[in-house]
Structure 1
Amino acid sequence: MHDLHLDHAAVEQLVGLTFAEVERDLILATLHETGGNRTHAANMLGISIRTLRNKISAYRGKGNDVPQSAAQ
């Protein structure tokens, strides 16, 4: 478990968003941070690569811009 101290102002910006919106934004930001590396992003997020791929597919299906891997 991380010893995480969140900035209260940052947390307050999440108020009013759905869990799905926060999850999507976190996944997309993590993919951006990893240069689109899905394996690294899944590890950082603590989810399986299969779960990440399914979520990416769903986000693309809804028209979200998903970062591409530098290798693609």
Structure 2
Amino acid sequence: MYDFAPDASATEALVGLPVADVERDLILATLRQTEGNRTHAANVLGISIRTMRNKLREYAEGGAEIPSAGLVDH
């Protein structure tokens, strides 16, 4: 089971950052925590798998490294 409870100090550290950057980092971190399982990550985040795929395509085009299912380092 994953611990997705927000840490107050971590949340405060986000103040002043662009929402798009926070969203990208949150999506990618959730994908790493779910070991690359896009469907599970989308469910955790409360977004559709279509939105997840679109966001990941956008991030990959921007040069972000996208975790693959089953290939995540621990």
TM-score, length of structure 2 as denominator length:
0.82
Q: CA deviation at 1:15?
A: 1.1
Q: Which residue of 2 aligns with 1:25?
A: 25
Q: Which residue of 2 aligns with 1:58?
A: 58
Q: Which residue of 1 aligns with 2:41?
A: 41
Supply the RMSD in Å over aligned alpha carbons. 1.6
Q: Which residue of 2 aligns with 1:15?
A: 15
Q: Following superposition, which runs of at least 4 residues in structure 1 exceed 3 angstroms of deviation?
A: 5-8
SS in 1 for 2:25: helix
- C-alpha separation in 1, matches of 2:25 and 2:10: 14
- C-alpha separation in 1, matches of 2:42 and 2:52: 6
Identity of aligned residues (%): 60
Residues 27-54 of structure 1: CA distance to partner in whole angstroms, max 9, x if unpaired?
0000000010001001000000000000
Structure whose alpha-carbon radius of gyration is higher: 1
TM-score, length of structure 1 as denominator length:
0.84
Matched residues, number: 67
